[in-house]
Amino acid sequence: MGKIVFGDNLPVLQGLSDGSVDLIYIDPPFNTGKRQERDRIKVAHDEVAGDRTGFAGRRYRTIRLGKSGYDDAFDDYMGFLAPRFEQAHRVLADTGSFFLHIDYREVHYCKVLLDQIFGRDSFMNEIIWAYDYGARSKKKWSAKHDSILWYAKDPVDYTFCFEEMDRIPYMAPGLVGKEKAARGKTPTDVWWHTIVSPNGKEKTGYATQKPLGVLERLVKVHSKPGDLLLDFFAGSGTLGEAAAKHNRDYLLVDNNPEAIQTMINRLAPTNPELIGCDAPLES
């Protein structure tokens, strides 16, 4: 079962029962001080006027649909996050885990804040999501990673399904033998995964959409079928798709009408309950 809620996430969180959520993942605005935007495009086969080349040399024409985005600037970012982190800790089940997806600008401040709320012993990992796409700086080392901070409600007793962990190729398979090379290895705390392809089927057109593969790894290892998963900065709804794909329930919250419409379209096959969503952007 899935639910999509249109509204301010703080009162939604305050309305949830203690210990009612098995896994929380959030990808809040990163406080970059900029407006986050992404061009929305589609392509059409056009051998005459095509401006890009596809498979077997076929030509395609780019059709621009506009831009999507949101303002990403806060006067008091920690003051904004703190009450939401506190509510997240309250609603998390005793064996549950909390994941904060953030970038290098704020991760250090967020960790100090989360240590105060969850306790330093509850900090389990800083997962580095590394990717290799986009512009390169000529003035500093180019930033090509995000951080995902993992906190367990109880650092001794938490859901961690090691057998559900996917396998990845060895970087030097010749050093481990054919059997190990064929089986692959388990990931570490550094995850190499491409961003959502601008031209791929996964793309929704929503700015800052995160890859399904990254969320699936978290869902499979840190929750069980039938668990309730929460994202209260839901954006394009990637957690919802990962949850539904692996037989988990989901609760997605966002106050951006564009995000709500994206989730309605993306998750329509799962028939979610819509709360406060009486006026979507599109019919």
Partnered with residue 38 across adjacent β-strands are: 68
Reported as a pLDDT band with limits 50, 70 and 90, residue 76 is confident
Measured distance CA(187)–CA(169) in Å, rounded: 9
Asked whether the predicted pLDDT for residue 55 surpasses 50, the reply is no
Domain total in the chain? 2
Same structural domain, 42 and 179:
no
Question: How confident is the model at residue 120, as a pLDDT?
Answer: 98
- Please check whether residue 208 lies inside any domain of the structure: yes
Closest C-alpha among 248, 245, 264, 246 to residue 256:
264
Structure tokens at 128: 């580095």
Same domain, 172 and 139: yes
- Inside any domain, residue 280: no
CA distance linking residue 236 with residue 262, whole number of Å = 6
pLDDT given for residue 248 in this prediction: 98
Q: Which domain holds residue 183?
A: 2-33+74-275
Please indicate, yes or no, whether residues 67 and 172 belong to a single structural domain of this protein: no
Query: pLDDT value at position 15?
Result: 95
In a domain, 47, yes or no: yes
Residue 220 covered by a domain: yes
Residues 6+ positions from 77 with CB-CB distance below 8 Å: 31, 106, 109
- The answer to whether residues 88 and 180 belong to one domain is yes
- Pair (15, 64) in one structural domain: no
Q: Using 50, 70 and 90 to split pLDDT, how confident is the model at 36?
A: very low
Same domain, 114 and 136: yes
**Reported confidence tier of residue 198, pLDDT bands at 50, 70, 90:** confident
Residues 6+ apart with CB under 8 A from 89: 98, 117, 118, 153
Query: Which one-letter amino acid corresponds to residue 217?
Result: R
The two beta strands, 228-231 and 21-26, are: parallel
At 140, is the pLDDT very low, low, confident or very high (cuts 50, 70, 90)?
very high
Please check whether residues 64 and 143 belong to one and the same domain: no
Which of the pair, 54 or 59, is modelled with greater confidence? 59
Classify residue 199 as left (phi > 0), alpha (psi -120 to 50) or beta. alpha
Same domain, 151 and 44: no
pLDDT at 206: 87
Pair 20, 106 in one domain: yes
| Spatial contact of 219 and 206, defined as CB atoms under 8 Å apart | no
What is the CATH classification number for the domain harbouring 17?
3.40.50.150
Residues in the chain: 283
Q: What is the pLDDT of residue 70?
A: 40
What DSSP assignment string belongs to 98-137?
A: EEEEE-TTTHHHHHHHHHHHH-GGGEEEEEEEE---S---
Higher model confidence: residue 172 or residue 74? 172
